[in-house]
Every structure is written in C-alpha cells, then in structure tokens.
Amino acid sequence: MAIKFGPAGIGPVKTALEVLENYHKKGIKACEIAFTYQVYIKNEEDARQIGKKAKELGIELSIHAPYYVNLNSKEKAKREATKKRILDCCRVGRYLGASVVVFHPGYYFKKGKDEFDREKTFETIKQGILEIKGEIKKHGWKINIAPETMGKINVFGSIEEISRLVRETGCSFCLDFAHILAREKTVDYEKIKSLFQGKIWHAHFSGIIYGDKGERSHRKTKHEEWKVLLKNLPKDKEIVIINESPDMINDSVEGMKIYEKL
C-alpha cells in the first residue's frame, strides 16, 4: 500500500512553483488545488508550468471544484452552470496533469415538508455526471470527476449514494473521512471497504466539529485521529489523503510521519 499526503491548496499562481518546492522539501507527495471560490489559474502556460514542476517533484495534483455548484438544482440554468464550472476545472486540470476534480454533488429534492426525494435526487445527479463524463470523453481528456462524501445530513452524499454513483457512472470518488464521521457519528471502515473496491482512493481528512445535523467546521487534526485512520485504511490500494484543516501543511507532515512508523 502506498499513501500520499498533502494539503488542500497551492496559493496564488505567482508563487505556486516555490510552494511546490517547499512542499517537496517537507516530503509532501500530493496537493489539491483549491478552485473552491473560482478557477483562478486561467492561463494555459501557467497551468502547464505548475503541472510540469509537480511532476518533476513527484507531487500528484488534484483539483477541488467551486463550492457554488449543484447538479440537482431545480433550475436548469443552474445545473448547466454547475456542469460548466466542473468542466472548466477539467479543462485546466488536463494542463496541470491532475488526476481528479473533486466536487460537491448537490442538495436533495424536497418532497413534502421534512422529507427528501432521495431517488429523484440520485437520478438527476447521475444524469449530470454522465453528461460531464460524455464531454470529457468527447475532448479526449484524461481526467475523472469525483463526487465527495458530504458532512451534513441534509446534503446529498452518503457513502452509499456516492458508491452507487461510482458503480452506475464510472466516476471516481472522494472519501472525506471527517465528513463521514460528522454525518454518521462513526466511521465503519469495513463497510467503506466493501462499498469502494477500486484500487485507487482519493480521500480528504482533518479534525472536524459536528453536531446532530452533521458538519460544523474543520479543525486541526489530532495525533490520535491520524493513527485511527491510518490503521484502518486498506493495505492494498493507492491512496491520496488531502488534509483540509486550518493547519493543513503541518497536519499532512504529521500524518506522513505517523504512517512511516506504523
């Protein structure tokens, strides 16, 4: 088994190459570029240079798509805008040599006052993913999209829902273990292993503050939390773990050190 650790961010384009060098000096082998507020690497040449440098340093890049997406919006214009934002990430991602574009799939349809139409939600999101994958294929891009397990109970993205999307669309996935804990109040590693049998896992991890309804905010990752996660991860997979805590670089380095000693 091999695990690559890294932070969720590379900072501004101007300093990206230096930042990658610094990550490399710390032994970091993965980095997720945060397009969470916008796809801020606009220039093809910049993207290619960042991708080239990352490759030279053995750092695997991934992308986090903007937060403002919802493949299950009632409004067609918003669903189309969502697809466009995710495809914009894929377009830049191919210059960066990124493996996946992680995104938040969407919200549930409501039926009645306090009830969700989970099936209709699933079908709409599945349709959106198939359309995006169709575009990726049409362009011949080597990148996959990865819906993320979500931390709030009223947002689409349980481990069952994400694994079903993987089976029915061939998309990739992002297992956010902090979100899984916040949503389910426990992490059932055996169940996750049986739901996600693919060889390659893309994961997020950090400490998390949560309540009845799930995720409240990310916090620094505790030593003991790293240990529990790393002991329970499968041994026969290639895993990338992106840390999203407020101290993501130091947390990644700490996770890496704990992993080396296991």
Q: How far is the CB of 215 from Zn ion (least distance, A)?
A: 10
Question: Hey, what are 37's tokens?
Answer: 């507020």
Taking the least distance from each CB to Zn ion, the nearer of 148 and 251 is 148
Taking the least distance from each CB to Zn ion, the nearer of 46 and 82 is 82
Q: How far is the CB of 176 from Zn ion (least distance, A)?
A: 6
Q: How far is the CB of 62 from Zn ion (least distance, A)?
A: 11
Q: Using CB under 5 A, which of the segments 80-88, 145-153, 227-235, 245-253 binds Zn ion?
A: 145-153
Distance CA 205, CA 207 (A): 7
Cβ atoms of residues 99 and 142 within 8 Å: no
Taking the least distance from each CB to Zn ion, the nearer of 60 and 148 is 148
Q: How far is the CB of 147 from Zn ion (least distance, A)?
A: 10
Segment (H or E) for 241: strand 238-243
Taking the least distance from each CB to Zn ion, the nearer of 117 and 184 is 184
Cα first-last separation, the chain:
12
Coil/strand/helix, residue 153: coil
Taking the least distance from each CB to Zn ion, the nearer of 148 and 215 is 148
Nearest-10 crossing angle of helices 76-96, 118-139: 40
Taking the least distance from each CB to Zn ion, the nearer of 4 and 64 is 64
Q: How far is the CB of 188 from Zn ion (least distance, A)?
A: 21
Question: Hey, what are 120's tokens?
Answer: 């209709």
Pairing of β 30-34 and β 60-64: parallel
Q: Using CB under 5 A, which of the segments 37-45, 147-155, 187-195, 217-225 binds Zn ion?
A: 147-155
Q: How far is the CB of 182 from Zn ion (least distance, A)?
A: 12
96: which residues sit within 8 A by CB, 6+ positions away? 33, 41, 47, 48, 50, 51, 54, 61, 63
Q: How far is the CB of 20 from Zn ion (least distance, A)?
A: 22
Counting other chains too, the contacts that 189-198 makes at CB distance below 8 Å and 24 or more residues apart are: 189/232, 189/233, 191/159, 192/159, 193/234, 195/159, 195/160, 195/163, 196/159, 196/163, 196/166, 198/166, 198/173, 198/237
Q: Using CB under 5 A, which of the segments 18-26, 90-98, 113-121, 144-152 binds Zn ion?
A: 144-152
Taking the least distance from each CB to Zn ion, the nearer of 157 and 255 is 157
Q: How many CA atoms lie within 13 A of 208 on its CB side?
A: 24
Size of the site for Zn ion (CB under 5 A): 1
Q: Using CB under 5 A, which of the segments 10-18, 22-30, 142-150, 162-170 binds Zn ion?
A: 142-150
Question: Hey, what are 103's tokens?
Answer: 């995104």
Q: Using CB under 5 A, which of the segments 6-14, 17-25, 72-80, 146-154 binds Zn ion?
A: 146-154
Write out the residues near Zn ion by the rule CB under 5 A: 148
